[in-house]
Chain A
């Protein structure tokens, strides 16, 4: 009964490095979302997906790419990490729509030096 699992939980990168954050859900949810949380800013939507093979931009998509090759997985990529991307990243999923309660992962704390 894992729900939404994010990997890794912590990571430190150097500027210019690349990495991929993995989000996996075992609830057969159609919709998945990536957010970033910065102090005093609440959560802001980076990208989202309404189903396997589809992705769309959210509020703050620059510098990130995503893929949803399998229904249960939603990957967030940083091609060339920048210090401004230091943040806590949350993945979430809902069964069919944004009006539902979001099931969140525990977050990934990413620091870019």
Chain B
């Protein structure tokens, strides 16, 4: 069975602080994909990144970076110099093998205060 754990339910930071959102996953598949989605207060789901299980390279996109470590089954997301517009719920998700299911974590509510 697949499982995604986002242990941080809520995080509150002050603008310009760096913040890391944790994601730990469980799967028996050797081939799987990990995703991060952002849900701003307006409610839509915005895709941020996809990573497959064979690519452990970290990725940086502007102020966003992702650290994928298979050894610890983690796919953590860091926002550098956070901004108020980063306030949102962030979901980590996992899909794998022949399973048609995309398993979401319960999400982390990030609030960036001015």
Contact = CB atoms under 8 A, between A and B. Distances in A.
Contacts of A102: 35, 45, 47, 102
Interface string B73-114: 000000000000000000101010001111011110000000
B101 A43 contact: no
B50 interface: yes
Interface in B9-50: 9, 33, 35, 43-45, 47, 50
Nearest to A44: B104
B33 A40 contact: no
B24 to A, nearest CB: 14
Contact of B101 (A58, A106, A107): A58
Task: Please tell me the size bucket of the interface on B.
Answer: 20 to 34
Interface residues of A, number: 22
A101 B106 contact: no
Given A58-B101, A101-B50, A41 B106 contact: yes
Contact of A42 (B33, B50, B91, B101): B91
Contact of A106 (B4, B33, B43, B106): B43
Interface of B: 4, 9, 33, 35, 43-45, 47, 50, 52, 91, 93, 95, 99-102, 104-107
25 contacts: A31-B100, A33-B102, A40-B106, A40-B107, A42-B107, A43-B91, A43-B93, A45-B101, A45-B102, A48-B100, A50-B100, A90-B45, A98-B99, A98-B100, A98-B102, A99-B52, A101-B47, A101-B50, A102-B35, A102-B45, A102-B102, A104-B44, A106-B44, A107-B43, A107-B44
